[in-house]
Amino acid sequence: MITCGWVGPRDTRDVNSFADVRRLVAEWDGSEPAPEAWNTARIDLEGRARGVVEQLRARAKAVIMREREQQREAARLRVIDELGHLLICFPPDTDDLNGKFHRLASEATPTADRLRSVYRRLGAYPDWSAGHLADLRGFRNDLSPAQTKTRLTGRELDAALADPRWEVHV
């Protein structure tokens, strides 16, 4: 960070452009300011520059934190989508996906282990809106029987759980 000032006989003026320098040089009478004025100006400008740098640093930190939170939220939404895709492919068709989630997670299967991992990652059961349920049913209806069977393996859910955005530290 650079701060510039013109130390005159009576005060220090901010220099923000080359035009300011030209004007100040044109107005200058050629006399030098006292050493005390130089030191006071230097200390003031250094302090102001430090303050600006701290503000910029705080703003950058806030942006980074917000971006990290957005990355983790994107990973969370991906897991919810893949969970919904998996659950909607398991019979029976029901609006109570969380009941199905709980039932499947209570079994002694690899799918149950996967679902317990999802629950630990999310920390709660997701909210399934009517619109989301309709989207999930549309997704399932567009799958061939072979694609549905592949979905039931849970590989897509495993990939969502392994998403590197989960590792972004907030």
Q: What is the pLDDT of residues 85-97, one digit of tens each?
A: 999 999 999 999 9
Is 41 inside a domain boundary?
yes
Q: Cα–Cα distance between 87 and 25 in angstroms, integer?
A: 76
Identify whether the C-beta of residue 46 lies closer than 8 Å to the C-beta of residue 53. no
Do residues 106 and 134 both lie within one domain?
yes
In a shared domain, residues 144 and 104: yes
Residues 110 and 40 in one domain: no
Residue 61 lies in a domain: no
Domain limits for position 41? 5-56
Residue 170, pLDDT above cutoff 80: no
pLDDT at 3: 85
Within a domain: residue 65? no
- The answer as to whether 44 is a domain residue is yes
- Per-residue pLDDT band at 150 (split at 50, 70, 90): very high
Q: 129: closest CA among 102, 89, 95? A: 95
**167 has a pLDDT exceeding 90:** no
In a shared domain, residues 107 and 84:
yes
For residue 113, which of 121, 122, 105 has the smallest C-alpha distance?
105
Domain count, the chain: 2
Taking the C-alpha atoms of residue 35 and residue 168, their distance in angstroms, rounded to an integer, is: 52
Are 145 and 86 within one domain?
A: yes
pLDDT confidence of residue 1: 67
37 plus 115 within the same structural domain: no
pTM given for the model: 0.74
Q: What is the helix, strand, coil percentage profile of the chain, to 5?
A: 70, 5, 30
Residue 81 in any domain: the answer is yes
